[in-house]
Structure 1
């Protein structure tokens, strides 16, 4: 194995003290710029590489943040990650990205691994199974700053950056009502997660505003995968009255429903108008194109990272242990699937 250049080799070559070399490499104000330049030049010439891990462990910071998302394949989460990485990179931080695949056990293991790797903070969107918060409380008690984005749990003193899911659900449903729909189905996700409770609450509020009775048999809960969408579509078609609208809490299940309707000869939007949620890229290219609620993923990533880095830099005092929730607006993108 080749011998790695050390600060002692640089010191020997320049006939100066090793502690001066160390200070210069750490950009200490106690070393003049002229000396720093000489040392840097010699370090580069000898091929010196700082052992960042060792120096970080001494300072007990790793300049690394962990990010846990349910699925990287979802366009929304990949756009959040882009916002996180750009903001973290500009601040000199590395990012470790992990996916829970919607499993609580996997989420627990990831948190353990990130803590063992001594990350400086964690950004987290919880899995659909997360109904128990022991692993999250462990981070909190450990003093590791963390922050929720998109999907959160009510944990005292933990910040969240969220979409206005209630407004999104309301806008989607009202759009269907204004396009003449009376019997509107709704695909919702696990009720443990506030995002799905809030999207459903928006759906109910729009019905109430337009004096349309709420019918529980029109609200179907699932994991919102594509096959859940086709199963849901089948259920809606089996009802004794004609369902003429559908608001799905994500695009994937909406697309599953559209495929099923197409196979059954049910025309979208003529027979049933559909609105999704999250503006996956495929929603613009399928036929008919899918009306959906767009979420500012990149911006969520930027804001969440900025807040986390602030917390890493200035740990909150006990007095300031109030959770801050930042809520961003979503917007309806009208396409062909809802134009009656």
Structure 2
């Protein structure tokens, strides 16, 4: 097995001290340009590669950012990762991507592992189970920048980059009302999470503005997987309520709800109209196509990454975090075109 060439091999080939080789490779002003050129040429000839990890660890940096998302398979999160990675790459940083699968214990282990690997910063969209933030508060003691994105966490000193979920929920409900709907149900996510609470509040605000009565029995909460939407729709229709529309807090639950509705041969949107949230790629190709609230995952990832890099490079630890809201817009498709 061939051993990788070291600075000692370069020094031996040139008949000089290994310390001079090390200084030249680190561009030290103590070594002349002519000697540097000679050493760099020999290093290339021998196929020498610097151990950047060891070098960075000596400087107490790794040029690596950790990213934790609930599910990489979700279009929103894959788009956010794209925005994060592209911004980090241009700044000379690598990205380690992990997924919690919406599990708190898994998230804790991932965060611990990223800290052990000495990432320079952490971007996280917390899991649905994350109600206790002790494992994230620990980053304060490590002086590692932490940015929350998509899902809000209220920890002093840490910033949030979020979708304007209230406006998205409001616009979705207002759109259904503009189509003549008066009995609008809402399939929500866990209310402990700010994003679903804000979408719910937007829904209620639109009802209030249009003098429509809010009714608790029109609201069903779940983890918003496709099967949850299917089951929620079955529960809703079993109540025999005069439903003429459903605003779902994500597209997957809307797709599941529409599937059950179609199985019962209830016409969409004539009898019941639907609006989802997140603009998953599948929402434009299902039948009927799903009206949804678009949220720019790429833009959120880009802004969160820029904020993170600024904190890393300036070594500033903000006493008070900031919250950046990214706008949403409604995409009308056939599921609500009455």
Aligned partners of 2:298, 2:33: CA distance in 1, in Å? 39
Q: CA 1:30–1:90 in 2, change beyond 3 Å: closer, same or farther?
A: farther
Aligned residue number for residue 37 of structure 1? 37
Distance in structure 2 (CA, Å) of the matches to 1:220 and 1:192: 14
Instruction: String of CA shifts for 1:18-67, please: whole Å, max 9, x gaps.
Output: 23322332234544544433322211110111112211221111111110
Please give the alpha-carbon distance, in whole angstroms, between the structure 2 residues aligned to 1:228 and 1:333.
23
Distance 1:197 1:91 in 2: 35
What CA deviation, in whole Å up to 9, does each residue of 1:160-181 have, x standing for no partner?
Answer: 1100000000000000000010
CA distance in 2, matches of 1:29, 1:87: 32
Q: Distance in 2 between matches of 1:93 and 1:39?
A: 27
| 227-236 vs 244-253, greater mean Cα deviation | 227-236
Distance 1:38 1:216 in 2: 78
Unaligned runs of 5+ in 1: none
- What is the deviation of 1:321? 1.0
Give the aligned partner of residue 17 of structure 2: 17
Aligned to 2:282: 282
SS of residue matched to 1:271? coil
Deviations 1:82-111 (A, max 9, x none): 111111111111111000000000000001
Deviation, 1:316, is: 2.2
- How is 1:223-242 mapped onto 2 (pairs within 5 angstroms)? 223-242=223-242
Map residues 124-203 of structure 1 onto 2, 5 A cutoff.
Answer: 124-203=124-203
CA RMSD in angstroms comes to: 1.3
Unaligned runs of at least 5 residues, structure 2? none
Corresponding residue SS for 2:36: helix
Structure 2 residue corresponding to 1:334, chosen from 308, 332, 335: 332
Distance in 2 between residues matched to 1:311 and 1:157, nearest whole Å: 12
Q: CA 1:227/1:118 → structure 2, altered by over 3 Å: closer, same or farther?
A: same
Give TM-score, length-normalised by structure 2.
Answer: 0.97
Alpha-carbon separation, structure 1, partners of 2:53 and 2:252:
42
Q: Does 1:266 find its partner at 2:266?
A: yes
Query: How many Å separate the matches in 2 of 1:240 and 1:220?
Result: 15
> Could you tell me how far 1:226 is from its partner in structure 2?
0.7
Mapping 1:10-159, distance limit 5 Å: 10-159=10-159
Deviations 1:250-272 (A, max 9, x none): 00000000100000111110111
Of 322, 325, 330, which residue of structure 1 is paired with 2:323?
A: 325
Q: Distance in 2 between matches of 1:227 and 1:119?
A: 37
**Which shows bigger deviation, 251-260 or 18-27?**
18-27
State how far apart, in whole Å, the 2-side matches of 1:29 and 1:167 are. 57
Q: Give distance in 1, aligned partners of 2:32 and 2:201.
A: 63
Pairing 1:219–2:219 present: yes
Task: Provide closer, same or farther for how the CA distance between residues 194 and 4 of structure 1 changes in structure 2, counting only shifts above 3 A.
Answer: same
- Mean alpha-carbon deviation: is it higher for 19-28 or for 214-223? 19-28
**Structure 1 residue 232: deviation in Å?**
1.1
**Helix, strand or coil at the partner of 1:126:** coil
1:275-328 residue CA offsets vs partner (Å, 9 max, x unmatched):
0000000000001000000111111111111111111112225xx411011111
